[in-house]
Amino acid sequence: MFFTVRKRLPSDNMKSFNLSPKFAKNLKQLFKKYKTLHDDLEKFKKIISAYPTGIGKNFVIIHSEQECKIVKARMACRALRNRSLRTIYAYVEKSGEFYFIELYFKGEQANENKALINEFLRQFK
């Protein structure tokens, strides 16, 4: 299965956050450089719990289907002096679940990994 790590954030309707192995690996690597990353990710989770597809110019829906929407978002990082990391996540409206697909720093990687997104989308077909 694509997702192995499951974390829950307590909220009104208990939305769940699932991390892909690639996301968990990237999170671990980036945490070595940016020590505030775990706190920044928790703040980001609170924001998307309230606004699943995001608000403002920092969120772009890159794929939309009836089953799920995939969003590319800028996540502020205090260790980067509020410059942002890019986060790719999917929101499944029916179940209220979030799947974090990819996390990267724009200076190290130009764009999202489309093959990773396509692999995730195959689960819903």
Give the CATH number of domain 18-124. Answer: 3.30.2310.20
Max Cα-Cα span within the chain: 40
Please state the domain extents for the chain. 18-124
- The pair of three-digit structure tokens given for residue 25, joined into one six-digit string: 């690996």
Distance CA 101, CA 22 (A): 7
Look at residues 7, 34, 28 and name the one whose alpha carbon lies nearest to residue 100.
7
Record the pTM. Answer: 0.83
pLDDT tens-digit readout, 15-44: 789 999 999 999 999 999 989 999 999 999
pLDDT score of 11 more than 60: no
What kind and span of H or E run contains 42?
helix 37-50
Instruction: Let me know: does 5 contact 19? Beta carbons within 8 Å.
Output: yes
